[in-house]
Amino acid sequence: MGLPTDATTPEAVGDAANAERVEEVLDRLRESGGRATTSRRILLTALFEEGPHHTAEELAIEVQRVAPDVHLSTIYRNLDELERLGVVVHAHLGHGPATYHLASETHGHLVCEFCDAAVEAPEDFFAELMDAASKRYNFTIDPRHFAVLGRCAACAQASLETPTN
């Protein structure tokens, strides 16, 4: 990683496509009176590049690999700003820090309380619940902001073998 790649490799193509999306977001930022700063460009690049679940701290480390002086509080402020813009959303997967996602990739989460494994669930998985909430409680739910906790298959099995009491 980090080595220069020529533009014909798949990941360089992906990078190029991401770079375009990053600039798109920066344009939107400018349109709304904001500015396209280096730290925002790097942060967005990290958000587009990496896996699905980033904490602010993980993103900071990623950004600091490129620009070591970017402060954690800048990451927080930029994430807030991007959230206000609708580019990212944050979610709480159990205890511990929040995770940030691209809004375009949002989904719900099932998180195991014992091993912290997270399963992503598409929005339609919650369709019935959303419908029921609307009818029974006149409530429009957004099932993506907090995880639904439980027990994954492996931990359920383990707890059968070594019961807690």
Partner DNA sequence: GGGGTTCTTGCGTCCAGTTCGTATTTGTGT
Partner DNA sequence: ACACAAATACGAACTGGACGCAAGAACCCC
Residues engaged in binding its own copies (CB under 8 A): 92, 94, 110, 112-113, 119, 121, 125-126, 128-129, 132-133, 136-143, 145-153, 156
Per-residue binding letters, 90-109, with DNA (x by CB under 7 A): ------xxx-----------
Is 37 near DNA (CB under 7 A)? yes
| Spatial distance between the Cα atoms of 78 and 19, rounded to a whole number of angstroms | 18
Which residue, 9 or 157, is less far from its own copies as judged by CB?
157
Burial 6-27 (b: 16+ CB within 10 A, else e): eeeeeeeeebeebeebbeebbe
| Spatial distance between the Cα atoms of 156 and 35, rounded to a whole number of angstroms | 49
Q: What's the min distance (Å) between Cβ of 60 and its own copies?
A: 21
Is 89 near DNA (CB under 7 A)? no
The pair of structure tokens assigned to 17 is: 């496509």
Q: What's the min distance (Å) between Cβ of 95 and DNA?
A: 8
- CA distances (Å), origin 55, targets 33, 97, 100, 131: 27, 6, 6, 31
Q: What's the min distance (Å) between Cβ of 4 and its own copies?
A: 40
Is 84 near DNA (CB under 7 A)? no
Q: What's the min distance (Å) between Cβ of 54 and its own copies?
A: 19
Distance from first CA to last CA of the chain, Å, rounded?
48
**Do residues 58 and 90 touch, judged by C-beta distance below 8 A?**
no
| 78: partner contacted, choices its own copies, DNA, none (Cβ within 5-8 A by kind) | DNA
Q: Three-class SS of residue 72? A: helix
Is 74 near DNA (CB under 7 A)? yes
* Residues that bind DNA in the complex, under the rule CB under 7 A: 26, 29-30, 33-40, 55-57, 67, 69-74, 76-78, 80-81, 96-98
